[in-house]
A = this chain, B = another copy of it.
C-alpha cells in the first residue's frame, strides 16, 4: 500500500520527463490508444517507450489492458488530480500578485482621471 506522500513522489517524478508528458498529452487527445500508436511520433525505439510506460503505470497515471496482440493504454486521472490539489495550496501566491497588479493599474487610472481638465 503506497501512501499519499509516496504517490506524490512517483507522480511528480513521472511528470519530470518530456517524453512521458508527451505520452500523456497523446492520451489526452486519444485515450485508449495502442502502444504502437503511442510510440509512433517519438524518435526513440519501442523498448524505450515501454520503459516510459512502465514509469507512468507505476505512478498510476496509465492503465494497460491486453486484447489479443494489442495493448490498449488509458489515462488515469486520479494522480494528476492529487498533484493539482497539492499545487493549488500555492495559488494565493500568484493570485495575490495579480491582485496587487490590478490595484496598481486602478490607482494609475484614478490618477490619470484626476489630471483630466
A interface residues, Cβ below 8 angstroms from B: 5, 8-10, 12-13, 15-18, 21, 24-25, 28, 31, 75, 77-78, 80-81, 83-84, 86-91, 93-94, 97
Contact = CB atoms under 8 A, between A and B. Distances in A.
Nearest to A9: B16
State the number of copies, please.
2
Contact of A18 (B9, B15, B24, B31): B9
Given A10-B16, A16-B16, A28-B89, 18 more contacts: A8-B16, A8-B21, A12-B13, A12-B16, A25-B89, A28-B90, A28-B93, A75-B93, A77-B93, A77-B94, A77-B97, A80-B87, A80-B90, A81-B94, A84-B87, A84-B88, A84-B91, A87-B87
